Amino acid sequence: MGSLVIVSKGKDPYRTTKRILQRFPLPDLEGKSVLIKPNAARLASPGDGVTTHPRVVAAAIDHLKEKGARRIVIGESCIFGVNAAEAFRVTGMKEVSEEKKVELLDLDQGDPMEIAIPNGKVIRKIKVPAVLKQFHFIISVPVMKTHMHTQVTLSIKNMKGLLWRREKARFHQLRYDKKVTKGDKELDIAISEMASVLFPHLAVIDGTVGMEGMGPAYGRGKRMGMILVGDNALSADAVAARLMGLRPKTVAHLRLTREKGLGEIDPQRISVVPRDYSKWVVPFEPPPSRLSIPFPSVMVHDEGSCSACLSTLLVFLQDYHSKLTDYRLEDQNVHIGIGKHLKACPRGTILIGNCASKMKGRGIFIQGCPPVSSQIADCLKI
C-alpha cells in the first residue's frame, strides 16, 4: 500500500503529536535542514482553532532533533495587513522558537525566486521565498478547518502560505474561460498546480481544536483532540476531510491534485492507522454560502472575491455593522460588493477592493487590495 496516515486522539497537543511521530516511519533526517510551515499567518491565540497550536510545533521540533536534523526553522508568510512579529508572538510561535532554540523566519523578508509550473493551465510559475531552496524537508502543519473558498484548508492549501508576499492574492485574481477551467474554480486549479511543485514531505495536521463554519478565520472552534500525520500530504488531507464528514473527492482542490497523480484520496486505498478511524468522524458545519447570514440587513454581492477581501469585510462588519444604518438602500439592506467577477449590484452599493473597481459608477468605491477595516470606515465616515 502507498501512503500511510496515522490518526491519534489525546488531550495534550504535545504528547499526542510526539506519540504519533515516534511511531511514524520517517526518512533519514540526520544532518538535514527542515522547514516547519505552521498556520501562523493571523493574529489568533493558541486553542482558538485559527492557527496551529504551538505545542504541536514543539513536539515536531523535539522529534526532529532526536532524528538528528541539523537545522530546524519555523517559517511563515502572513496574510496581507498582519504584522509578522506580532503574529508570531500572539500565536505562540515566538515562544516555541525561543524555548526550543530554533529559527523563526518571516518568509516575506528575504528575496523571492521563481519556480516554473510545467503544464500549468492557470499558473505558469510561482514566486516563493528564495530561502526555500536551503531546505531538504518541508513539513506542513495546518489546522483542520473549513474554508469559505476551498471548502477545507489542510496541508496542501497551507503551502499557499509559502508564496511570497502578494503572490498569494494573485491566486484569487485568476480568470480563465470555461474551456480551460472545465467548471472548476481557478483558485482550486491553482492550488493543485502549486502542489505539483510545492508539495510537503510530511503533513502533521492539527485537529486539537479545528474550525467549522465560517473558516478559515471567523468560524467556530471545534475541539477534536486529534492529530494526523501522513507521509503523503494529499492522502493525509483526504483522511482529515473524511474525519470532517466530507467525501474527499467532493473537495475540488483535493480531487484536482489527485488528478495530477500526486497521491491517493480514496480512503480505501490509503493505509490508515487505526483502521477503524472513521469512528472519530464528526461532521464539521460547512461555511455559509452567503455572508448575510451572520449579519442581518447586509447583502453581500460576492462574485469571485479572495479570502483577503472576505476577511477584511468580516472584520469590518464585526466592528462597524451597527453604524451602517445611513447606508441602507430602499430595500432597507446595506449592499456590499466584492470580487473580480462582480457584474450586478444596486446603485448605492459599497464596493470594496480593487477587484470591484469596474463597478465604481454604481456606488461608493473603496480602493485597496484589500483595504483594511479602518480604511473602509474612514471612507464611509462612520
Which residue from 37, 339, 345, 373 is in contact with ligand SF4, where contact means CB under 6 A? 339
Q: Is 173 in the site for ligand SF4 (CB under 6 A)?
A: yes
Instruction: Using the minimum distance from each CB to ligand SF4, give the nearer residue, 60 or 79.
Output: 79
Q: Is 350 in the site for ligand SF4 (CB under 6 A)?
A: no
Q: Is 131 in the site for ligand SF4 (CB under 6 A)?
A: no
Q: Are 68 and 33 in contact (CB under 8 A)?
A: no
Instruction: Using the minimum distance from each CB to ligand SF4, give the nearer residue, 13 or 353.
Output: 353
Sign of the CA dihedral 358, 352, 181, 164? Answer: positive
Which residue from 144, 243, 309, 345 is in contact with ligand SF4, where contact means CB under 6 A? 309
Q: Is 370 in the site for ligand SF4 (CB under 6 A)?
A: yes
Stretch that binds ligand SF4, among 101-109, 192-200, 279-287, 303-311 (CB under 6 A): 303-311
Stretch that binds ligand SF4, among 39-47, 137-145, 215-223, 332-340 (CB under 6 A): 332-340
* String of DSSP letters for 234-273: HHHHHHHHHHTT--GGGSHHHHHHHHTTS----GGGSEEE
Residue 361 DSSP SS3: helix
Instruction: Using the minimum distance from each CB to ligand SF4, give the nearer residue, 90 or 338.
Output: 338
SS3 content of the chain, % helix, strand, coil (to 5): 35, 25, 40
Q: Is 355 in the site for ligand SF4 (CB under 6 A)?
A: yes
Q: 320 burial class (0-12, 13-18, 19+ CB within 10 angstroms)?
A: middle
Q: Is 306 in the site for ligand SF4 (CB under 6 A)?
A: yes
Please give the distance of CA 148 from its chain centroid, rounded to a whole number. Answer: 10
Q: Is 300 in the site for ligand SF4 (CB under 6 A)?
A: no
Dist. CA 226–CA 7, nearest whole Å: 7
What residue has cell string 521563481? 114
Q: Is 236 in the site for ligand SF4 (CB under 6 A)?
A: no
Instruction: Using the minimum distance from each CB to ligand SF4, give the nearer residue, 55 or 172.
Output: 172
Sign of the CA dihedral 147, 149, 152, 157? Answer: negative
Q: Is 169 in the site for ligand SF4 (CB under 6 A)?
A: yes
Instruction: Using the minimum distance from each CB to ligand SF4, give the nearer residue, 173 or 375.
Output: 173
* String of DSSP letters for 150-165: TEEE-HHHHGGGGS-T
* String of DSSP letters for 155-209: HHHHGGGGS-TTHHHHHHH----HHHHTTS-HHHHHHHHHHTT---SEEEEEEEE
Residue 292 DSSP SS3: coil
Find the shortest distance in angstroms from Cβ 356 to ligand SF4. Answer: 7
Q: Is 354 in the site for ligand SF4 (CB under 6 A)?
A: yes
Which residue from 92, 287, 353, 363 is in contact with ligand SF4, where contact means CB under 6 A? 353
Residues near ligand SF4, by CB under 6 A: 169, 172-173, 305-306, 308-309, 338-340, 353-355, 369-370
